[in-house]
């Protein structure tokens, strides 16, 4: 009875404490409200990842019309950078090594998800930004990304950690000068795409960051950074990012989290993969995927603890989903005569001893990526 009484008191204490935690009140939003929602003052700057083929076709035609006007060549290069948290050091190293080798292309479309979204603007703007990319993925630490708010999260808060340090980090790298440079490249028909996940809709959202940067809206710098933060906001660990929208006069905030929640890689939209065929005159010459993880099975004895089992199971589930995504992409490339190159970290990506954002671990992965790029066949 004494033990039961103590347990009951513990439950009451938890409930009482949770009542002290303020939670964000949100209005009732319907699917129709969401369908009509727009980010005011920017025009067409986003698409559902799973939008119907006509919508993606219209987006592609508008891009190519701008490329023709700018005198860009018909065939182009696309780079897709996956999610992977601190394993993004691999892609950062790969891009640096590619520049050193002197064979790095000028990418016409760069897409990124989660940590890939943070890398994407640097990759888009070219090798002049390599030193910043190296610094970002070899010198940061966990305290520069998040601060623990575990108790608040367990008692009803939105997350177990605060991303205030990451907000400051993004502001320090995604400067007005960088965002203006992205706008200039967008005007030449190039595209910078980042994926987030709309948690209410359970759908991936593809944002055209170049279109946001090129807009005349004075809040464009803030929205640009918000999208980067949202794409890298791991649900539960990091708080979601609220994006203000308007739905036929009804204003509300959408809940956006890590783009990797819906897909780790953003290359060809599902509607195009299933129903589309690239035109001869406008097909990309090559799609390169930098995958910040291991695609092949990696054997390791799993500790019989709750955390180890859950982590291992989640890694296996995500890897299997990514294998299917990339298999579909390979089939699309083969059908349309495209060159597809997929580079993944391999077994080095799954080090059970490495802590999150461990500098030595990230430096190791950076060098793995750098050496892979230096040894690419010409």
Tell me: the pLDDT tens digits for 272-289?
Answer: 655 555 443 445 588 999
Q: What is the CA radius of gyration of the chain?
A: 22
Tell me: the pLDDT tens digits for 2-21?
Answer: 333 343 334 334 444 444 44
Which H/E stretch holds residue 197?
A: strand 191-198
Q: What's the pLDDT at 8?
A: 35
Tell me: the pLDDT tens digits for 60-97?
Answer: 888 888 888 888 766 678 999 999 999 999 999 999 99
Residue 331 clears pLDDT 80, i.e. is over it: yes
- To the nearest 10 degrees (0 to 180), the angle between helices 176-186 and 115-125 is 70
Query: How many Å apart are CA 106 and CA 263, to the nearest integer?
Result: 25
pLDDT band at 25 (very low <50, low <70, confident <90, very high): confident
Q: What's the pLDDT at 18?
A: 45
Contact 298, 325 (CB under 8 A): no
- Stated pTM of the model: 0.88
Q: What's the pLDDT at 151?
A: 64
- To the nearest 10 degrees (0 to 180), the angle between helices 164-173 and 130-139 is 160
Residue 349 clears pLDDT 70, i.e. is over it: yes
Residue 152 clears pLDDT 50, i.e. is over it: yes
Burial 177-201 (b: 16+ CB within 10 A, else e): ebbebbbebbeebbbbbbbbbbbbb
Listed ranges 103-107, 266-270, 331-335; the one with the highest mean pLDDT: 103-107
Tell me: the pLDDT tens digits for 168-189?
Answer: 999 999 999 999 999 999 999 9
Structure tokens given for 149: 């708010």
Average pLDDT value over all residues in the chain: 86
DSSP-derived secondary structure for 225-273: HHHHHHHT--BTTB--EEEEEEETTEEEEEEEEEGGGT-S--SS-HHHH
C-beta atoms surrounding 167 within 10 Å:
15
Torsion sign (Cα): 176, 177, 179, 183: positive
Q: Is pLDDT larger for residue 5 or for residue 205?
A: 205
- Gap between the terminal Cα atoms of the chain: 76
């Amino acid at each position: 009875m004494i033990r039961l009484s103590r347990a009951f008191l513990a439950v009451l204490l938890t409930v009482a404490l949770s009542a002290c935690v303020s939670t964000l009140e949100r209005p009732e939003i319907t699917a129709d409200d969401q369908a009509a929602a727009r980010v005011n003052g920017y025009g067409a700057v986003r698409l559902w990842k799973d939008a119907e083929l006509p919508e993606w076709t219209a987006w592609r035609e508008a891009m190519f019309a701008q490329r023709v006007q700018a005198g860009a060549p018909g065939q182009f290069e696309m780079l897709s950078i996956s999610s992977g948290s601190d394993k993004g050091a691999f892609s950062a190293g790969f891009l640096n090594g590619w520049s050193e080798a002197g064979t790095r292309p000028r990418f016409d479309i760069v897409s990124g998800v989660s940590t890939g979204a943070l890398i994407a603007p640097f990759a888009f703007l070219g090798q002049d930004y390599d030193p910043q990319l190296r610094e970002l993925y070899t010198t940061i630490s966990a305290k520069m990304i998040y601060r623990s708010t575990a108790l608040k999260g367990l008692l009803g808060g939105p997350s177990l950690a605060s991303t205030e340090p990451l907000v400051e980090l993004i502001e320090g790298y995604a400067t007005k000068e960088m965002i203006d440079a992205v706008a200039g490249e967008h005007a030449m028909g190039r595209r910078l795409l980042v994926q987030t996940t709309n948690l209410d809709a359970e759908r991936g959202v593809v944002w055209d960051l170049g279109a946001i940067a090129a807009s005349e809206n004075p809040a464009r710098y803030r929205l640009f950074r918000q999208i980067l933060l949202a794409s890298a906001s791991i649900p539960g660990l990091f708080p979601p990012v609220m994006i203000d929208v308007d739905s036929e006069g009804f204003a509300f905030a959408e809940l956006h989290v890590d783009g990797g929640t819906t897909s780790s890689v953003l290359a060809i939209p599902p509607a195009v993969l299933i129903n589309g065929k690239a035109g001869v005159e406008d097909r990309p010459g090559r799609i390169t995927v930098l995958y910040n993880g291991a695609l092949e099975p990696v054997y390791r004895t799993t500790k019989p603890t709750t955390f180890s089992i859950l982590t291992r199971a989640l890694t296996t589930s995500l890897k299997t989903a990514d294998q299917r995504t990339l298999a579909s992409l390979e089939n699309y490339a083969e059908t349309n005569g495209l060159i597809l190159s997929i580079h993944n970290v391999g077994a080095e990506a799954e080090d059970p001893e490495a802590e999150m954002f461990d500098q030595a671990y990230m430096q190791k992965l950076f060098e793995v990526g750098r050496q892979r790029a230096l040894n690419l066949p010409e």
